[in-house]
């Protein structure tokens, strides 16, 4: 039997690691690092770099695994995601079984395991179920608001965190004047009426490649689209996030 620790590592800056995260890394017998293909090789390298920087336990082993590709031929979105998560859990199980003496297994999770991340859901599919521990990490939301030196919410006011797909399908959420949008590969802010909307956008927040842009949505939307496309072409991948606030 083994335990599985999910360690939030922040948004790409090794300085985002907490002391709790560093201790958890060094307490692991086995650290699993996903390989996401050539276009995202530097995401795996970042995890390796973190281990080189903070890992002092000579007994800790690091093992890579190939992350399964989501089957886009499955029409239903939820069924497609569930099948993908099942495949990832099977790969984890094989990687852990290959190290039968590992009692303390860890995964380094981008950002925080509790916010728009499915590592906990995938871990729940493992059989037999391990004891799961979670180490919180700095989220991309924190990194974005820090990069722009802004406050996440207005005084006493709520905010909503959503996805690009829902923003396109449902429009501006009615319950809040501040909206944070994650997992948006299509610049879905273009689907909104820009009148009265301010946007704070960032890509690779917390990393040396960080790019930010802010201003009235009507003025900067096209600039963000162009910046994003150029950055993705240059790096082969992109992670971005943005916050919008509507007057009134």
Residues 139 and 237 sit within 8 Å (Cβ to Cβ): no
Instruction: Indicate the residue among 91, 114, 138 that finishes a domain.
Output: 138
Residues 105 and 29 sit within 8 Å (Cβ to Cβ): yes
Instruction: Indicate the residue among 138, 172, 204 that finishes a domain.
Output: 138
Angle in degrees, CA 66, 67, 69, rounded to 5: 120
Instruction: Kindly state whether residues 132 and 151 are assigned to the same domain.
Output: no
pLDDT computed for residue 193 by the predictor? 96
Model confidence at 38, in pLDDT bands (50, 70, 90)?
low
Contacts of 194 (CB under 8 A, 6+ apart): 216, 217, 218, 221
Instruction: Kindly state whether residues 110 and 161 are assigned to the same domain.
Output: no
Q: What CATH number did the domain enclosing 115 receive? A: 3.40.1010.10
pLDDT tens digits, 184-194:
999 999 999 99
pLDDT computed for residue 150 by the predictor? 97
Instruction: Kindly state whether residues 173 and 194 are assigned to the same domain.
Output: yes
Q: How many CB atoms lie within 10 A of CB 180?
A: 22
Instruction: Kindly state whether residues 95 and 149 are assigned to the same domain.
Output: no
Instruction: Kindly state whether residues 117 and 101 are assigned to the same domain.
Output: yes
Rounded distance between C-alpha atoms, residue 113 and residue 238, angstroms: 19
Q: Which range scores top for mean pLDDT: 34-48, 61-75, 214-228?
A: 214-228
State the alpha helices, DSSP H only, in 55-138: 77-97, 119-123
Rounded distance between C-alpha atoms, residue 7 and residue 134, angstroms: 6
Residues 182 and 163 sit within 8 Å (Cβ to Cβ): yes
| Closest of 134, 82, 81, 86 to residue 111, by C-alpha | 134
Rounded distance between C-alpha atoms, residue 30 and residue 176, angstroms: 43
Instruction: Kindly state whether residues 132 and 208 are assigned to the same domain.
Output: no
Q: 70 exposed, middle or buried (CB, 10 Å; 0-12, 13-18, 19+)?
A: middle
Instruction: Kindly state whether residues 30 and 47 are assigned to the same domain.
Output: yes
Chain position carrying tokens 């050539």: 38
pLDDT tens digits, 52-103:
999 999 999 999 999 898 889 998 989 999 999 999 999 999 999 999 999 9
Chain position carrying tokens 């207005």: 154
pLDDT computed for residue 62 by the predictor? 96
pLDDT tens digits, 115-166:
999 999 999 999 989 999 999 999 999 999 999 999 999 999 999 999 999 9
Model confidence at 40, in pLDDT bands (50, 70, 90)?
low
pLDDT computed for residue 13 by the predictor? 84
Task: Classify residue 155 by its DSSP letter.
Answer: T
Q: What CATH number did the domain enclosing 164 receive? A: 3.30.950.10
As for how many domains the chain has, the answer is 2
Instruction: Kindly state whether residues 14 and 107 are assigned to the same domain.
Output: yes
- Domain membership of residue 56 as a residue range: 3-138
pLDDT computed for residue 12 by the predictor? 76
Instruction: Kindly state whether residues 90 and 70 are assigned to the same domain.
Output: yes
Instruction: Kindly state whether residues 148 and 161 are assigned to the same domain.
Output: yes
Instruction: Kindly state whether residues 133 and 150 are assigned to the same domain.
Output: no
Specify the pTM: 0.89
Rounded distance between C-alpha atoms, residue 205 and residue 185, angstroms: 16
The per-residue pLDDT of the chain, averaged, comes to 93
Tell me the three state secondary structure of residue 194.
coil
Rounded distance between C-alpha atoms, residue 160 and residue 95, angstroms: 37
Task: Return the percentage of the chain with pLDDT > 70, whole number.
Answer: 97
Angle in degrees, CA 96, 237, 228, rounded to 5: 150
Instruction: Kindly state whether residues 189 and 213 are assigned to the same domain.
Output: yes
């Amino acid at each position: 039997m083994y335990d599985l620790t999910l360690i939030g590592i922040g948004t790409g800056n090794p300085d985002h690691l907490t002391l709790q995260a560093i201790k958890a890394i060094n307490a692991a017998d086995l650290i699993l690092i996903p390989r996401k293909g050539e276009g995202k090789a530097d995401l795996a390298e970042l995890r390796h770099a973190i281990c080189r920087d903070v890992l002092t336990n000579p007994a800790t082993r690091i093992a890579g695994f190939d992350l399964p590709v989501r089957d886009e031929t499955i029409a239903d979105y939820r069924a497609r995601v569930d099948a993908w998560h099942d495949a990832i859990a099977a790969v984890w199980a094989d990687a852990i079984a290959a190290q039968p003496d590992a009692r303390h297994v860890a995964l380094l999770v981008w950002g925080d395991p509790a916010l728009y991340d499915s590592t906990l859901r995938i871990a729940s599919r493992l059989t037999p179920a391990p004891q799961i521990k979670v180490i919180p990490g700095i989220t991309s939301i924190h990194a974005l608001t820090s990069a722009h030196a802004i406050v996440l919410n207005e005084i006493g006011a709520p905010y909503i965190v959503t996805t690009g797909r829902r923003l396109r399908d449902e429009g501006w959420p009615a319950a809040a004047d501040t909206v944070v949008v994650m997992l948006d590969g299509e610049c879905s802010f273009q689907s909104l009426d820009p009148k009265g909307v301010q946007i704070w956008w960032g890509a690779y927040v917390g990393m040396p490649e960080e790019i930010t842009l802010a201003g009235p949505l009507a003025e900067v939307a096209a600039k963000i689209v162009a910046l994003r496309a150029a950055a993705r072409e240059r790096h082969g991948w992109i992670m971005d996030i943005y916050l919008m606030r509507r007057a009134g």
